Amino acid sequence: MADRSTNQPEEKVNLQEFMAKYDKESDFRRLTGIIARIIAALAISFSVFQLYTAIFGTLDAHIQRSIHLSFALALVYLLYPTRRSWSRNRLHWFDVSLALTAAATPIYIVVCYQELVLRAGTVTTSDMIVGTLGVFFVMEAARRVVGWPIVIVASCFLLYAFAGPYIPGIMAHRGVRLDQLVGHLFFTTEGVFGIPLGVSSTFIFLFILFGAYLEKTGLGKFFIDLANAVAGWASGGPAKVAVLSSGMMGTISGSSVANVAGTGSLTIPMMKSLGYKPEFAGAVEASASTGGQLMPPIMGAAAFLMAEFVGVPYVDVVKAATIPAILYFSGVWIGVHLEAKKFGLKGIPRDKLPKIGRIIMERGHLAIPLVAVIYLLVSGYTPMRAALWAILLAIMASMLRSSTRITPRDVINGLEKGARAALGVIIACATAGVIIGVVTKTGLGLKLASALIHLAQGQLLPTLFFTMISSLLLGMGVPTTANYVITSTIAAPAIMQLGVPILCAHMFAFYFGIVADVTPPVALAAFAGSGIARSNAMRTGVNAFKLSIAAFLIPYIFVYSPQLLMIDTTFFEALFVTLTALTGMIGVGAAVSGYLLTHTNILERILLFGGGLMMISPGITTDLLGFGLLALVILYQFIRSQRGQKHKDKIPKTIGQ
């Protein structure tokens, strides 16, 4: 640890400017006056519509999704300017006209619904105009609120739809006429209005609204204080606080960058003041915040999409994600612990930390709705019904103490904030629908799967490697929900063709799409962490990549051993697998950090890495071999550290004689 100049005052980060730089969703207009009230009323109306249909029953799928998208498009064009150079304090007439036109394109489906149903498959001139404009407005909205990566990916797919006859080899197809493509993308539930937007218009919006109310009650601050009380005193305490608080925040946050900003603005300066290098401090927060997207029960809203895509109950997705998520956070925790031991970094004195009993007594009730929603989902309630109860419980729980009580005005503001927070997810889902529409129309999914398998010569391990690379590339800079939709549509079919269970295949693609946020060169969460830490962005990305090593190993292991996803296993088998895998993570973490009981040499690192991998992979033989290798290194390190201690003890005596 070279840089330990803690006497310098920590320069505060302007969170508003920071989020606008690293998170497109946060770069919106800050309006005042009558215009701001009109937009607020529109956002509140959006939330009221979603609550109304959740309580009294959703409309026909296409109508529900059309109204949902119409609200979102109007708000995006009003809140996000066409050009970055335009003022954030004034509404431009051009964006107003775009907002009205964009919102009208999905409403066309609502108004002409009966006629469209009767002539299904036939696209008129007015349909062509509206549909083409609709797809364009969705793509432009994605550019404004999500960013260029997803727009570029979707544009490539649209080009592929037309270029099929001119492409040689296995990727060729007959081609698609413009009217066929527009009809498929905008007037069926196979494109823009497909499953992703369907899930967004029902459960996802409500869970985002739930998250907005939890934030209003101060649950995020409760998580950080609780993590401080639990781990702040330990070796490298602030880094462990970052891991714990980000893991807990991940249950309600749908964005790794937002999670970095929310907890990192507190934890990163704490880590730097303790002696962690800025690059490592930013990396810890980035790795932990990215892991929040892998943490059940919400998983950045991807859990609901996965249940729909795979065709399994939601609770099965949560069960499958539990052990890998535990291993991921254990890997990050082990990494920061060993780093602290390696450089002798202490924790925060206990007398400067909040008391856990007091925190729970004063604000423990804020966690009631979070516990309740998990219970309701596991008990068989539909996600929509569970989210409704959770929103009500969040408001009621806040009333239990005056210090956390939210006012009627806060309730109204929560409706507005929830609608605004949902915009990025909605537009990402609609844009992902464009990609799915092209895939289903051209058969691209099977073609890509066949190409990957052909490239890997039909072998599972090389196919997994190529699928990993595809998922990392497709996941760069793309929000969690769209990330999963894209990777599961394009990458997962390849390994499914080789007999891998569908849930394993989807989870594999999802994991690598998510860890793209900490994988250089486009490590978005790591770059966000470096922005707060004032560190070198690429070095922060490399450190985050090393801390997130579990996310690069575990997917391979659960493909070969589905017990890690609790598929076809018992409770005791799952418990045994978890305990042995956690032991294995210690070996892997020590190998990566270069420290266990003392500094490791190259041979010890190889043995630790190999032994750790064997223990993560379920199986008695591999567990025994792995345990033997770890025990051998630990014994050797213990003897070596004892000899080193004796040598140190002799030095003062020699000097004193």
- Enclosing domain of residue 609: 579-657
In-domain check, residue 533: no
The pLDDT, as a whole number, for residue 251 is 64
pLDDT tens readout for residues 51-100:
999 999 899 999 999 999 999 999 999 999 998 888 888 999 999 999 99
pLDDT tens readout for residues 606-655:
999 999 989 887 788 888 999 999 999 999 998 887 876 665 555 554 43
In-domain check, residue 206: no
In-domain check, residue 436: no
Question: H/E element holding 128?
Answer: helix 125-145
Helices (H), 14-92: 15-22, 33-56, 61-79
Determine how many CB atoms are found less than 10 A away from the CB of residue 350: 11
In-domain check, residue 20: yes
DSSP, collapsed to helix, strand or coil, labels residue 474 as helix
Q: Which of 98, 132, 148 is the last residue of a domain?
A: 148
In-domain check, residue 433: no
pLDDT tens readout for residues 399-448:
998 888 999 999 999 999 999 999 998 999 999 999 999 999 998 888 88
In-domain check, residue 70: yes
For residue 595, the cross-strand partners are 599
For residue 500, pLDDT over 70 is answered with yes
For residue 239, pLDDT over 70 is answered with yes
Q: Which of 148, 181, 208 is the last residue of a domain?
A: 148
Contact 244, 227 (CB under 8 A): yes
Higher per-residue pLDDT: 193 or 615:
193
Q: Which of 86, 114, 148 is the last residue of a domain?
A: 148
In-domain check, residue 573: no
pLDDT tens readout for residues 92-149:
999 999 999 999 999 999 999 999 988 877 899 999 999 999 999 999 999 999 888 8
Number of domains in the chain: 2
Higher per-residue pLDDT: 2 or 148:
148
In-domain check, residue 279: no
Those residues with Cβ within 8 angstroms of residue 302's Cβ, 6 or more apart along the chain or in another chain: 293, 480, 481, 483, 484, 510
**HSE-up of residue 213 (Cα within 13 Å, Cβ side):** 32
Determine how many CB atoms are found less than 10 A away from the CB of residue 457: 8
Determine which of 21-25, 33-37, 148-152 has the lowest per-residue pLDDT on average. Answer: 21-25
Write out the two tokens for 8.
Answer: 């310098």
Sequence letter at residue 237? G
Determine how many CB atoms are found less than 10 A away from the CB of residue 655: 7
Contact 557, 564 (CB under 8 A): yes
What pTM was estimated for this model as a whole?
0.86
